[in-house]
Amino acid sequence: MTTSEQLFEKAKTLIPGGVNSPVRAFRSVGGTPLFIKSAKGPYLYDEDGRQYIELINSWGPMILGHAFEPVEKAVRDAIQHSFSFGAPTRKEVEMAELITNMVPSIEQVRMVNSGTEATMAAIRVARGFTNRDKLIKFEGCYHGHGDSFLIAAGSGAMTMGIPDSPGVTKATAADTLTAPFNDLAAVETLLANNHNQVAAIILEPVVGNMGCVLPEPGFLEGVRTLCDQHGVVLIFDEVMTGFRLAKGGAQERFGIKPDLTTLGKIIGGGMPVGAYGGRADIMQLVAPAGPVYQAGTLSGNPIAMSAGLAMLHHLNEHPEVYTRLDAIGEKLTTGFKAGLQKAGLPYTINQLGSMFTLFMTERPVANFSDAKSCDVAAFGRYFHAMLERGVYLAPSQFESLFTSIALTDDLIDQVIQANEESLLVMMTGSPER
């Protein structure tokens, strides 16, 4: 037994499924999750001392590579002044100023502790602002584990086959309307059938949580226009794309201005942080400025703010990070496509900047039902073949991969080589694990 296997056996007796977040359990790919001991730059090290090239990077935050020195130093410095005060700090003001500079649609911002908290608060504010109850989300988009969002949800919910979670009341579910991603006509129909009842439309402008799915030309613009026509608050959930696709997120890349934005992942530099913000007239409704209640004992935590500030400052001041990430994404995609061609597999790759997914399907993937056409058994074999070759992917077909700037050209070549070999192993049908 490996150390990971021993730890997992014990974990399963103490923690539901042995993990603190579902996708980590390797359920959809089979086998035992690796227990991670440490990481540095482009590498992850497990409890058995094996080294892996990182293509998840903590689901996004490690965009500058693991244990990036300026972030590490900021945390070390901050720790000397105690860890939490439950009172306002200078760093929170700096953080708010930096976020509003980097993401111009955000005029005011509130810090929270996770992406889930950010999206739950954002829809509450949108409901308070419009005095309406309903919400439109897209099938396969994931917005954290708030009750309202566990309807046709992506990410782990999709991977585990539970996109509609038990435990969500019928009343809550009834207020969440869903449309296929990239289907503007479906949104129009929902708005017409629920006249003056829809408070918000929430979406991932580039989806990461059913695998990487791009908005078709005109889709985001169309949603923006419909929101304006119907008095609906447009929420971009940029927990994944924020500070990743550009310093101002997907909204900068596509030139669309949402009313509210939710942030997470990169914003904490690896610490548990989220944020929501947007138009000042909407954010002024948040307590204590206004009547919509939202609070948090550890919100704006000084250690977390220090890590996040160091991360965001670096991204804000080094635009070459994004040029490099785009180049890495393109080089990987080109190499993966060549691998598919050699293996004679007509599979689909979606990519934008540092986000990409190899979908085990011949169909172009533009929405949830396209994504669901993938051969997940083949993905499981491929996943383990990659792991065997020292490449750590997301343990699910329905996730995007995330690169960091720590990925050198040599490492990219190694990953491309591993992909070629793994596709061949996958086709023989026998998992290596």
Ligand X SMILES: *Cc1c(COP(=O)(O)O)cnc(C)c1O
Point out which residues bind ligand X (CB under 6 A).
114-116, 119, 142-144, 204, 208-209, 237, 239-240, 264, 274
Q: What is the CA radius of gyration of the chain?
A: 21
Element (H, E) at 330: helix 320-343
Cα–Cα distance between 343 and 346 in angstroms, integer? Answer: 9
Nearer to ligand X, 240 or 321 (CB): 240
Residue with tokens 């690896």: 270
Q: Is 265 a catalytic residue?
A: yes
As measured in angstroms, the least distance from the Cβ of 43 to ligand X is 23
Instruction: List phi, psi (to 5°) of 127.
Output: -70, -40
Complex with ligand X: residue 143 or 381, whichever CB lies closer = 143
Nearer to ligand X, 118 or 378 (CB): 118
DSSP result, 167-179: TS-HHHHHTEEEE
Q: In angstroms, give the least distance from the CB of 413 to ligand X.
A: 29
Q: At what angle do helices 320-343 and 409-428 cross, to 10 degrees?
A: 30
Beta bridge partners, 276, equal 110, 262
What is the Cα–Cα distance from 184 to 226, expressed in whole angstroms? 9
Whichever of 354 and 419 has its CB closer to ligand X, that residue is 354
331 counts as catalytic: no
**Whole-number minimum distance, CB 153 to ligand X, in Å?**
10
Rounded to a whole number of angstroms, the minimum distance from the CB of residue 400 to ligand X is 9
Tell me whether residue 347 is one of the annotated catalytic residues.
no
Minimum distance of ligand X from residue 143's CB (angstroms): 5
Q: What is the nearest approach in angstroms of ligand X to the Cβ of residue 146?
A: 9
The arrangement of strands across the sheet holding 198-203 comes to 108-112, 274-278, 260-263, 233-237, 198-203, 134-138, 176-179
Rank residues 114 and 261 by Cβ distance to ligand X and give the closer one. Answer: 114
| Cis preceding linkage at 288, omega within 30 | yes
Residue (of 69, 3, 73, 75) closest to 36 by Cα position: 3
Residue with the closest Cβ to ligand X? Answer: 115
Nearer to ligand X, 142 or 243 (CB): 142
Which of 52, 137, 175, 237 is catalytic? The answer is 237
Annotate 192-230 with b (16+ C-beta within 10 A) or e (fewer).
Answer: eebeebbbbbbbbbbbbbbbbbbbeeebbebbbebbeeb
- In angstroms, the CA 401 to CA 393 distance is 7
- Which residue do the tokens 């991204």 mark? 315
Q: Which residues are catalytic?
A: 142, 237, 265
